[in-house]
């Protein structure tokens, strides 16, 4: 579920601030109560340490602990979600270690975000999961850069490598990307431009696969923030690997691109509409609808965000799925899943 919330920035405290070093400490505790056919309660604690040393080196050390209570069982897991060092001499920037790798301009879908992409149904998108990687960036000026990324795995066939370039000409931003992702060749890019204060964007990728037909993915969208009114968003997604017939969904979902969490939707054509409105500065609401244009099933995501203090908020949301229900096989995509209701508490420090 995509939860569009009035974001609170982690209230990091600067504990050291000298000419040679700056160290910030912060984090959050979040609790998610989720009810569907069964219910669960998840607590997430995150501690962030961000430091800058000698003006040319910085580091992120972010620890996360998750505790899930479901059916009277308790599951506890933890990980270092960020553990990296960055060396920067203005033109060259090298980051080594566990880090977030993010590209693309799509709001709901982003085909060029090839490493650890968010799913359209993710509940919380505040922090992208870190991956072990080496990223080397070179600045071509104040408005242009090129990056090379290697995210190694124990199995070389699962290693992800890419080269990304980004530049700006007047109001137009554009990017090009080429990579080897899980042994698939991928190339593409994106464009972003503001026209009469509306943001227009598009993304395109073409994937060359082993043993399966090659396929394209396309996203086109626009958004607009009215000065004293709502925020509105519309986005179209062409999923070239997807199916137009629901009878092929079971076959599609077994493909490696789905198993590797690179593609999330089963159909070929999708549309999304979203509206958000800040009612009082304390209460904001949003409504998102995503439709599979092939089987006409739909996901509807209403959300209410209540800001209780500078560092405390509550989110009340639901993921309502409509379509033909799953019986012995897929009859539609979203109709195969039950409704989901979420209460999320956010407390930052």
Which two tokens mark 297? Answer: 């099933």
CATH of the domain at 319: 2.40.160.10
pLDDT at 10 (0 to 100): 52
Residues whose CB is less than 8 angstroms from the CB of residue 21 and which lie 6 or more positions away in sequence, other chains included: 51, 52, 53, 54
Place of tokens 């509105």: 232
Q: Is residue 4 part of a domain?
A: no
Q: Is residue 1 part of a domain?
A: no
- Could you report the per-residue pLDDT of 150-161, keeping only the tens digit for each? 999 888 888 999
The C-alpha atoms of residue 200 and residue 290 are separated, in whole angstroms, by 19
Domain count, the chain: 1
Q: Is residue 157 part of a domain?
A: yes
pLDDT at 253 (0 to 100): 95
Q: Are 2 and 272 in contact (CB under 8 A)?
A: no
Provide mean pLDDT across the span 141-164.
Answer: 92
Which two tokens mark 328? Answer: 């012995």
Parent domain of 270: 13-348
Q: Is residue 6 part of a domain?
A: no
pLDDT at 9 (0 to 100): 47
- Could you report the per-residue pLDDT of 125-139, keeping only the tens digit for each? 999 999 999 999 999
Q: Are 192 and 220 in contact (CB under 8 A)?
A: no
- Is residue 1 scored above 80 in pLDDT? no
Q: Is residue 298 part of a domain?
A: yes
Using 50, 70 and 90 to split pLDDT, how confident is the model at 250?
Answer: very high
The pTM is what?
A: 0.93
CA nearest to 128, candidates 150, 149, 99: 99
The C-alpha atoms of residue 284 and residue 318 are separated, in whole angstroms, by 15
Question: ∠71-336-41 over CA atoms, to 5°?
Answer: 25
Q: Is residue 50 part of a domain?
A: yes
Q: Is residue 5 part of a domain?
A: no
Using 50, 70 and 90 to split pLDDT, how confident is the model at 5?
Answer: very low
């Amino acid at each position: 579920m995509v939860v569009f919330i009035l974001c609170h920035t982690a209230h990091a405290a600067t504990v050291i601030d000298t000419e040679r070093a700056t160290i910030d400490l912060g984090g959050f505790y979040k609790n998610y109560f989720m009810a569907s056919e069964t219910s669960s309660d998840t607590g997430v604690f995150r501690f962030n340490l961000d430091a800058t040393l000698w003006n040319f080196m910085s580091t992120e050390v972010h620890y996360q602990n998750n505790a899930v209570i479901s059916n009277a069982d308790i599951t506890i897991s933890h990980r270092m979600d960020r553990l990296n060092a960055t060396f920067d001499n203005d033109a060259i920037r090298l980051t080594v270690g566990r880090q977030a790798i993010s590209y693309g301009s799509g709001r709901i879908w982003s085909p060029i975000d090839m490493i650890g992409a968010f799913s359209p149904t993710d509940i919380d998108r505040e922090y992208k999961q870190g991956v072990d990687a080496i990223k080397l960036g070179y600045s071509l000026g104040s408005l242009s850069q090129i990056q090379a990324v290697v995210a190694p795995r124990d199995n070389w066939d699962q290693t992800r490598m890419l080269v990304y370039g980004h530049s700006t000409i007047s109001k137009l931003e554009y990017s090009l990307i080429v990579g080897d992702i899980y042994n698939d060749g991928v190339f593409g890019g994106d464009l972003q431009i503001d026209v009469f204060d509306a943001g227009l964007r598009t993304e395109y990728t073409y994937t060359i696969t082993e043993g399966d037909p090659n396929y394209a993915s396309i996203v086109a969208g626009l958004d607009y923030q009215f000065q004293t009114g709502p925020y509105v968003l519309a986005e179209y997604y062409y999923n070239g690997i997807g199916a137009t017939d629901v009878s092929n969904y079971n076959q599609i979902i077994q493909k490696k691109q789905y198993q590797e969490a690179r593609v999330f939707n089963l159909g070929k054509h999708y549309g999304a509409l979203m509206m958000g409105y800040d009612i009082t500065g304390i209460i904001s609401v949003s409504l998102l609808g995503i439709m599979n244009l092939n089987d006409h099933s739909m996901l509807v995501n209403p959300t209410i965000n209540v800001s209780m203090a500078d560092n405390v908020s509550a989110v009340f949301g639901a993921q309502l799925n409509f379509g033909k229900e799953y019986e012995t096989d897929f009859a539609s995509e979203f109709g195969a899943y039950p409704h989901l209701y979420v209460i999320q508490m956010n407390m930052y420090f």
